[in-house]
Amino acid sequence: MSTVKSKNVNLKECLIICNGRIYKKDLKLTGMYLKPRRATKIIACDGASDFLKTAGITPDVIIGDMDSAKPSTLNYFSKKKVLIRQIKDQNKNDLEKAFLYAISKNIQIVHLIGLTGKRLDHTLNNISILLKFHNKIKFILYEDGFTGYLVTKQYSSVCKPGTIVSLIPLPEANGVKTTGLKYPLRNEKLALGKREGALNVTTGNSFSVTLRKGMLLVLLK
């Protein structure tokens, strides 16, 4: 599996690691951001720092209310001069705090892993935060080998035939059209609780999706 590289080489990027389920395959996808001499910042959300310590990865920043990170982990990274920002605002979860920090540093693209898993309430809350910030910062999701993008107008990609493509409305998408998929959509409506576009596959070396209104989470694997 090849490392994902951004085409936007002039934009500032960072990697945010949430305290969810973290897969080795996702670390491989984001491998270029984990190299010791990388230029990209790694931001750990609170308890994700425990995983990073075990994995031998040193973040640049640990952020959150610090109610889940082990004191020994925080002490370990403090000695390594890692910036630890404790923010006790209970109206914002750790991912939102990480996004706000990234925006304050003029980050324009966030690579995001560990978004889901462990607790359903945290997973749903994190997805809500994505919707809240989708027009403020661009992010790319990595989840169990899937790569995900939030799309409000159009998306296209070069890929291998047979690539899994799922189109999940958040919460609704109108006028959805696709090319290059086994089950094409022709100016159709997708909506949570009514109709989703999961588990489609590409028929060739590329595909595209456009929509007139709403939002889609496009997942590729």
- Residue 204: the pLDDT is 95
**Sequential pLDDT tens for the chain (221 residues):** 233 334 444 458 899 999 999 887 888 777 766 665 555 789 999 999 999 999 888 999 999 999 999 999 999 999 999 999 999 888 899 999 999 999 999 999 999 999 998 889 889 999 999 999 999 999 999 998 899 999 999 999 999 999 999 999 999 999 999 999 999 999 999 999 999 999 999 999 999 999 999 999 999 99
The two tokens of residue 50 are: 């425990």
Q: Classify domain 150-220 by CATH number.
A: 2.60.120.320
- For residue 51, the one-letter residue type is F
Question: Of 175, 162, 120, 117, whose CA–CA distance to 142 is shortest?
Answer: 117
Cα angle 92-96-97, degrees, rounded to a multiple of 5:
80
The CATH homologous superfamily to which domain 13-144 belongs is Thiamin pyrophosphokinase, catalytic domain (3.40.50.10240)
| DSSP-assigned beta bridge partners for residue 157 | 207
The model carries a pTM of 0.86
Q: Where are the domains of the chain?
A: 13-144, 150-220
